[in-house]
Amino acid sequence: MSELPKGWKKEPLGTFVRLKNGYAFKSKDFVAKSENTFPVVRISDIQHGRVLVTDSTHIESAIANFKFTVESGDLLIAMSGATTGKTGVYRSTEVAFQNQRVGNLKLVDEQNSCPRYRNYLIASLKEEIIKKAYGAAQPNISAKELEGIEVNIAPFDEQKRIADKLDSVLAKVEAAQARLDKIPAILKRFRQSVLAAATSGELTKDWRATQGLELSSWNEYLFEDISTQITVGFVGKMADKYVESGIPFLRSQNVRPFKFDERNLLFISEDFHQKIYKSRLEAGDLAIVRSGAPGTTCVIPENLGVVNCSDLVIVRPSEKLVSEYGCIFMNSTAAQGTVKANQVGVAQQHFNVGSMKKMLINLPTKHEQEEIVFRVNQLFEHSYLIEKKYEMALIRVKKLEQSILSKAFKGELLSSSVDSDIESIESSVETLNA
């Protein structure tokens, strides 16, 4: 739509709202909540579109500045810092006060303006506000910059209709978002249930029946009995050892469950690699995180070539242990519990080589290990496909919200096909949840 609907005006935001700055309360005056205190709204109290004062700092009523009272229905905005531009509506009836760098967006003409329209209008300007805020070294937005942004203002009666429509359609978007938010936890539970079934024998129960095998064919071993070597990566100062290219040098952050992560991969020279040759990693080795996320395990892939590592537990499997099965076991809930129970250290707890050597593993035949690996890979591949669809749906939901807001303030919302877009999103979410 090239022209605005009849009655609409394009004008600076400052003709519709004025930004009232907060008061610079002194930190020495902040006190704990009591019968004679009031909450002070700071930037950290603006969360997810609301202003929450449950955990706010307080000031004594004797020093309260009532020119900066926050009223129910006020729209507050962060004016500086990493979260500049975030907004929240104050819904409480409790008397509260506005701290410095917290802006209060007051309607210029309260009698002929819709507060909900204001709230949605400011939400639609989020990206523009962030751009202006990050124009300086320290992110911040001034009243002059904010009020100077050109916006489209609808007539009062239409403001209410647009706000009503946005209440309806964005509630559906929010519901879709809420359902999407459950999917990562569902996938995590699914993967852990797969690993539990894999390491208990349940996953290949039918396979054993076709092979004439019983669960009694599984035997318990110490890891040191099914490994040719268990050692630890290089522990020492590394600041001056890194080079631009050379031998890949893995750190804990390069080990993720079931996969090597090449992001932020560093390198060492060939000479230094030879000096610390004991901490080399070979294809098929299990690389196990010692601290931070102890027990997290991946298999070193063949295409990585010659590599070395820092402060990782290295398990080199013998012929009895299929590397990928060892990885399945180490990432399972049972093994993770054992790792956690056997951490040592005071300043920073970690999982050590001694505990790794004495860890017990219930091991099936090599043939069954390979079958387990095959089945786990199939099931995980299915979960990864769902995860990809989830990520795509998440992007669509986020884009849809901004698209709806954009249409609303161009005068296109009431005659647009937004409802069909939401139905499409809801259908996708329904499929994922199923």
Q: Where are the domains of the chain?
A: 9-153, 155-217+364-434, 219-361
The pLDDT, as a whole number, for residue 414 is 62
Q: Which CB contacts under 8 angstroms, 24+ apart, belong to 129-134? A: 129/84, 129/85, 130/84, 130/85, 133/80, 133/84, 133/85, 134/84
pLDDT per residue as tens digits for the range 292-325: 899 999 999 999 999 999 999 999 999 999 999 9
Span 133-154, average pLDDT: 87
By DSSP bridging, strand 307-309 and strand 247-250 are parallel
Q: Of 352, 302, 346, 344, nearest to 323 (Cα)? A: 302
CATH of the domain spanning 9-153: 3.90.220.20
- Look up residue 67 and give its amino acid: K
The pLDDT, as a whole number, for residue 267 is 96
Please provide the DSSP assignment of 40-86 as one string: EE-GGGEETEEE--TT--EEEGGG--GGGEE-TT-EEEE-BSTTTT-
User: Model-level pTM?
Assistant: 0.77
Element (H, E) at 381: helix 366-408
The pLDDT, as a whole number, for residue 350 is 83
- Three-state DSSP at 366 gives helix
Q: State which CATH number among 3.40.50.300, 3.90.220.20, 3.40.50.620, 3.40.50.970 fits the domain covering 219-361.
A: 3.90.220.20
Which of 234-248, 313-327, 359-373 is the least confident region?
234-248
Which of 159-173, 237-251, 330-344, 409-423 is the least confident region?
409-423
Q: What angle do CA 384, 386, 392 make, to 5 degrees?
A: 105
pLDDT beyond 60 at 248: yes
By DSSP bridging, strand 69-70 and strand 307-309 are unpaired
- Side by side, the strands of the sheet bearing 266-268 are 242-243, 266-268, 247-250, 307-309, 280-281
**DSSP conformational letter for 136:** S
The upper half-sphere exposure of residue 369, i.e. CA atoms within 13 Å in the direction of its Cβ, equals 19
Same fold, 9-153 and 219-361: yes
Q: Which residues, other chains included, contact 316 with Cβ-Cβ below 8 Å and sequence gap of 6+?
A: 227, 228, 229, 230, 282, 284, 285, 286
